[in-house]
């Protein structure tokens, strides 16, 4: 009896011990599961933090903007500064206050400030132009009127506002103004450009700008501005029949000048380029010197800094005729490389326009492309005596503040469009890849 009670007590004790052991095992298992779960949560948090950090820091300047265009702008800016230094060197050391680095320092300032301006425009949402386009075009017209009233006259032309060496060229600002205004107008009124009545506003803006700039006189800039407006109207769907009247008026004006205005400034402009050497000491002097410089350069050029024509033969070689110095020092090969660089920039601008996320972005980028391409064509045509000589800068290369700032601002507008279009899609794809990588890592763990 006593033995049976003892056995029963041992069984109860063994059962209790087993139960305690089982509970202990379950507790240990629960602790291990909790620790594993905590470890897994910590790992997930670490991976999430890593992915977020990579996402934040991984979308770099290369992804935000059209990086190839940005690099090309930098290359052109540096090349332009070097050529301005070379072209203007001789004239500065022979001035009353010699400073061989005069143009280099000033052009360097224009480039640095231009880059600041470009980045401001690149980070300014181009959709905001819808609110201020009317004010922008009003300021443009106001500045052009102010030039005719109180502008600075140099060499028979009144194109500048300012005092002393501090000057701006309002017509350069007008290029940007018409790009912005016309782009906003055609994007908000897509059907208006298909009728003559709807185009009345743009025709008025074109006529006012053209008349005020020709009055300075500055025919080349007037042509660029008119071409920007017409080009944007054309890509917006304008009926080409509407161009017949202005073309006929232009032809009639040409024949009127050639027939009845032979003593006028415009007759000289329209005829002197046909044979600049016929009056090589007069109206054809600058063009003839430019052609001589290009001829001296030949295929390979004389070498950087070795131009002879810039040595007081070619007037203001660092300005509109800097292409002649480039051709003389770097030759036909250097000239072709420069033209290839411009073609690459145009390709990038067209790509930005085609990949813009809306019509306003498309028109803005298209306007910038027209502005760049046409100005290069006109400058090359003037230097090579293919059209009447008139003052127009070579983009990013010629010396000058307002021209550099206007082109930098224009590139900023295009970069902002790219940021909203192509670059935005790249950043989105990159974000998707990073998110997918984080999810895969989580699944494997």
In whole angstroms, give the CA distance from residue 21 to residue 45: 35
Residues forming beta bridges with residue 235, ordered by sequence position: none
> Residue 100: which pLDDT band, with cuts at 50, 70 and 90?
confident
> Residue 195: which pLDDT band, with cuts at 50, 70 and 90?
confident
Task: Return the pLDDT at 406.
Answer: 95
Calculate mean pLDDT across residues 329-340.
96
Lowest mean pLDDT among 36-45, 280-289, 351-360: 36-45
Of these ranges, 203-207, 243-247, 263-267, the one predicted with the greatest mean pLDDT is 203-207
Higher pLDDT, 356 or 16: 356
Task: Return the pLDDT at 425.
Answer: 65
Task: Return the pLDDT at 381.
Answer: 92
Lowest mean pLDDT among 257-266, 331-340, 376-385, 405-414: 257-266
* Helix orientation angle between 219-235 and 359-383, rounded to the nearest 10 degrees: 150
Task: Return the pLDDT at 64.
Answer: 73
Task: Return the pLDDT at 9.
Answer: 60
Lowest mean pLDDT among 47-51, 159-163, 227-231, 354-358: 47-51
Pairing verdict, β 157-163 and 166-168: antiparallel
pTM score of the predicted model: 0.80
In whole angstroms, give the CA distance from residue 195 to residue 152: 40
> Residue 28: which pLDDT band, with cuts at 50, 70 and 90?
confident
Q: What is the mean pLDDT of the chain?
A: 84
> Residue 62: which pLDDT band, with cuts at 50, 70 and 90?
low
> Residue 50: which pLDDT band, with cuts at 50, 70 and 90?
very low
Task: Return the pLDDT at 284.
Answer: 79
Res. 7: pLDDT tops 80: no
Question: Could you tell me the end-to-end alpha-carbon distance of the chain, in angstroms, rounded to an integer?
Answer: 61
Higher pLDDT, 365 or 256: 365
> Residue 55: which pLDDT band, with cuts at 50, 70 and 90?
very low
């Amino acid at each position: 009896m006593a033995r049976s009670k003892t056995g029963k007590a041992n069984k109860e004790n063994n059962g209790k011990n087993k139960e305690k052991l089982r509970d202990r095992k379950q507790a240990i298992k629960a602790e291990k599961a909790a620790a594993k779960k905590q470890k897994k949560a910590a790992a997930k948090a670490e991976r999430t933090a890593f992915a977020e950090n990579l996402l934040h820091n991984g979308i770099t300047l290369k992804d935000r903007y059209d990086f190839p265009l940005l690099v090309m702008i930098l290359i052109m800016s540096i090349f332009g500064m070097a050529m301005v230094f070379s072209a203007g060197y001789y004239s500065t050391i022979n001035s009353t206050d010699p400073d061989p680095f005069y143009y280099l320092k000033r052009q360097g300032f224009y480039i640095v400030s231009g880059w600041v301006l470009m980045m401001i425009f690149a980070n300014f949402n181009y959709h905001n132009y819808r609110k201020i386009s009317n004010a922008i075009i009003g300021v443009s017209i106001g500045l052009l009127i102010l030039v005719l009233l109180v502008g600075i006259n140099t060499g028979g032309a009144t194109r500048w506002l300012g005092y002393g060496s501090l000057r701006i060229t309002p017509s350069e600002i007008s290029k940007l103004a018409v790009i912005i205004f016309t782009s906003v107008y055609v994007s908000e009124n897509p059907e208006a450009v298909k009728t003559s009545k709807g185009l009345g506003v743009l025709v008025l803006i074109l006529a006012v700008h053209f008349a005020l700039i020709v009055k300075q006189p500055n025919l080349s800039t007037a042509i660029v501005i008119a071409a920007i407006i017409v080009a944007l109207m054309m890509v917006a769907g304008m009926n080409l029949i509407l161009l017949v009247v202005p073309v006929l008026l232009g032809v009639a004006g040409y024949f009127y000048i050639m027939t009845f205005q032979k003593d006028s400034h415009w007759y000289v402009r329209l005829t002197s380029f046909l044979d600049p050497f016929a009056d090589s000491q007069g109206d054809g002097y600058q063009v003839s010197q430019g052609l001589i410089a290009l001829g001296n350069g030949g295929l390979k050029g004389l070498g950087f800094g070795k131009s002879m024509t810039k040595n007081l033969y070619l007037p203001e070689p660092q300005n509109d005729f800097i292409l002649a110095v480039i051709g003389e020092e770097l030759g036909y090969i250097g000239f072709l490389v420069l033209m290839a660089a411009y073609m690459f920039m145009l390709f990038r601008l067209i790509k930005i326009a085609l990949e813009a996320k809306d019509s306003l972005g498309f028109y803005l980028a298209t306007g910038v492309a027209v502005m760049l391409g046409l100005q290069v064509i006109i400058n090359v045509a003037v230097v090579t005596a293919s059209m009447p000589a008139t003052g127009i800068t070579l983009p990013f290369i010629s010396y000058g503040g307002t021209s550099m700032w206007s082109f930098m601002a224009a590139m900023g507008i295009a970069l902002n469009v790219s940021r909203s279009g192509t670059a935005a899609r790249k950043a989105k794809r990159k974000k998707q890849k990073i998110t997918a990588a984080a999810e895969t890592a989580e699944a494997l763990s």
